[in-house]
Amino acid sequence: MNMTFRWYGRGNDTVQLDQVKQIPGVKGIVWALHHKPVGEAWGKNEIKSEVDYIKSFGFHAEVVESVNVHEAIKLGNQDRESYIENYKQTIRNLGEFGVKVICYNFMPIFDWTRSDLFRELPDGSTALFYEKEIVENRDPKELIQTFSSYSDMTLPGWEPEKIGRIKELFDAYKDMTEEDLWENLRYFLEEILPVAEEAGIKMAIHPDDPPWSIFGLPRIMTGRESLNKLLSISNSPSNGITFCTGSLGSSRSNDMVALSAEFAHKSPFAHIRNVKIFDNGDFIETSHLTSDGSIDIKGVVKELSAINYDGYVRPDHGRHIWGEKCRPGYGLYDRALGIMHLLGLWDAFQTMKKENH
């Protein structure tokens, strides 16, 4: 496995790359041009500048998370064509600078959703929390306002420009069914996959987080059935999955060890993190340790080791520990602990495999 670390860019992250450099085993930085408005093509000069900077620390810059998909494409609007053209241009430009994987998602309006960014855990640290009751009864506008005004660092997926358009967006999705959304995803993929193949890039769809419908909006990347359906759209080697244990795993109906066995080989990128699910369906993010949450992280890494997984992996959201002030879920300390845990498991499983041969 090719260990990576997500970073939000110069002046846009509390974590610096010389700090990441001191985490053992990290080979690459997962990046994006976070200042680009969704839908605009990424230019070569701006890509080069970011890639050069990342490489100057000795990291590779082969994974981009995310190139976000404009709502017009998800809605299947007439003006989707120009946004798809821009997306293709971005793919080509990223390919020129050695990018191998692009993570994207197809969630209407909202990306990842939580009710609380700093819920206290029993050990005094804080983490992202999802309280069903609150999310289901809250006005989505209020939620978006809270999250987008959290700090001067925009949370990905909660860009303030959405606030002004929220009513218009909800109206646009009013009659959309899951089938319609699938159809728009299929259309998008059929357009972009040949371009991605030519550019040597794998597209890796991120599952919905949480993997169920919120605010009455359709959500389609939710579990085993949807992953199979996605793969059935095209057998292009560029049609892949971002295997996110925490997103899929916040639903009890998803057995993450079984899903790793089935889908790891179609997942060029994996996000590995743990969540603890409560009896009423609420969930909180925890440390990466299996015993701290509801997901068998050890079992997932064992499956990855079984196929000598050579895709990119990153620890996902960590807790906020030791008083660190950071982007919610994206501090240095707990993700560094997560990396050491994942690499420790990996080393142990790989060694056992060799000894058994």
Residues with a catalytic annotation lie at: 206, 244, 271, 316-317, 330
Task: Tell me if 8 contacts ligand DNO by CB under 6 A.
Answer: no
245 binds ligand DNO (CB under 6 A): no
Under DSSP, is residue 11 helix (H, G, I), strand (E, B) or coil?
A: coil
CB of 354 to ligand DNO, least distance (A): 33
Q: How many residues bind ligand DNO (CB under 6 A)?
A: 12
Which one of residues 65, 71, 197, 282 is an interface residue with ligand DNO (CB under 6 A)? 65
Q: Which of 103, 193, 199, 241 binds ligand DNO (CB under 6 A)?
A: 103
Give the SS3 label for residue 105: strand
CB of 14 to ligand DNO, least distance (A): 15
Is residue 307 classed as helix, strand or coil in its secondary structure?
coil
Stretch touching ligand DNO by CB under 6 A, among 88-96, 104-112, 288-296, 302-310: 104-112
The reply on whether position 104 binds ligand DNO by CB under 6 A is yes
In angstroms, rounded to a whole number, what is the distance separating the alpha carbons of residues 202 and 238?
4
Q: How far is the C-alpha of 70 from the C-alpha of 68, rounded, in Å?
A: 6
Q: Which is nearer to ligand DNO, 244 or 305 (CB)?
A: 244
Sign of CA dihedral 170, 36, 83, 229: negative
Site for ligand DNO contains 206 (CB under 6 A): yes
- Report if residue 111 touches ligand DNO, rule: CB under 6 A: yes
Min dist. Cβ of residue 306 to ligand DNO (A): 25
Among 2, 4, 105, 222, binds ligand DNO (CB under 6 A): 105
User: CB-based contacts of 56: which residues, under 8 Å, 6+ apart?
Assistant: none
Report how far residue 243's alpha carbon sits from residue 307's, in angstroms, rounded to the nearest whole number.
15
Closest contact distance (angstroms) between CB of 267 and ligand DNO is 13
The encoded tokens of residue 27 equal: 């080979």
**By rule CB under 6 A, what string of x and - marks binding of each residue 250-289 to ligand DNO?**
----------------------------------------
Q: Which segment (70-78, 91-99, 102-110, 186-194) binds ligand DNO by CB under 6 A?
A: 102-110
Residue closer to ligand DNO (CB basis): 156 or 299: 156
Residues forming beta bridges with residue 119, ordered by sequence position: 127
| Range 50-58, long-range pairs (CB < 8 A, 24+ positions) | 50/9, 51/97, 51/98, 53/10, 53/17, 54/7, 54/17, 54/29, 57/17, 57/18, 57/20, 57/21, 57/29, 58/21
Count of beta carbons in the 10 Å neighbourhood of residue 205: 26
Task: Using CB under 6 A, list all residues that contact ligand DNO.
Answer: 65-66, 103-105, 111-112, 156-157, 206, 317, 329
